[in-house]
Structure 1
């Protein structure tokens, strides 16, 4: 037996804004809201416990400084990396500098609250 990741929790100042952003990035839908303001999003028709982890956007994130110790990597499923980069920027992502050289095969981006994530080059098949 082994464990698997069922959900990722992101502390943030505006759960609605990040739920909309990450829902657009991943094609996720809102699965539920908690009284504390947390919003869970996940794949349509699967939800918690499905083949992909859900995201929980939880209020309480304060200002931070420095590179995050953990980040999310994403891959396009239906377009090349350049087209996906444009789509992510249109959703509200922005370029982030974490010390990369410019020779990397990935793009370092930040979500609307500054959480870094990477867009990798390889296109993956949709689930």
Structure 2
């Protein structure tokens, strides 16, 4: 059972201009699939670099790390709930589950309180809870 880093995500009260800036700086490709709520910047083709994500937040949250790593299930792991349970059993804290159509993720915290996400594509997700 393993997970792999897939994206570095930045919380922002204005993610669109910030994502555009990073796309320009890195030569990456900007994608806005969620109407300004969440944007990604993919590295240029052939460049081994993480995807950058920019996520809308209402206000900067005091005490929460502004950058966090997103993980996707790796290898044959397809059960997000089981992976979250494994991580919590290993000492992670459960912060909150989330979903958008086609994708579910869970915000967790490491033993020192740093937040990160574990997610997976899910064709059955239709709820925004």
TM-score bracket, normalised by the shorter chain, equals: 0.3 to 0.5
Tell me which protein shows more strand as a share of its residues.
2
Query: TM-score by structure 2 length?
Result: 0.40
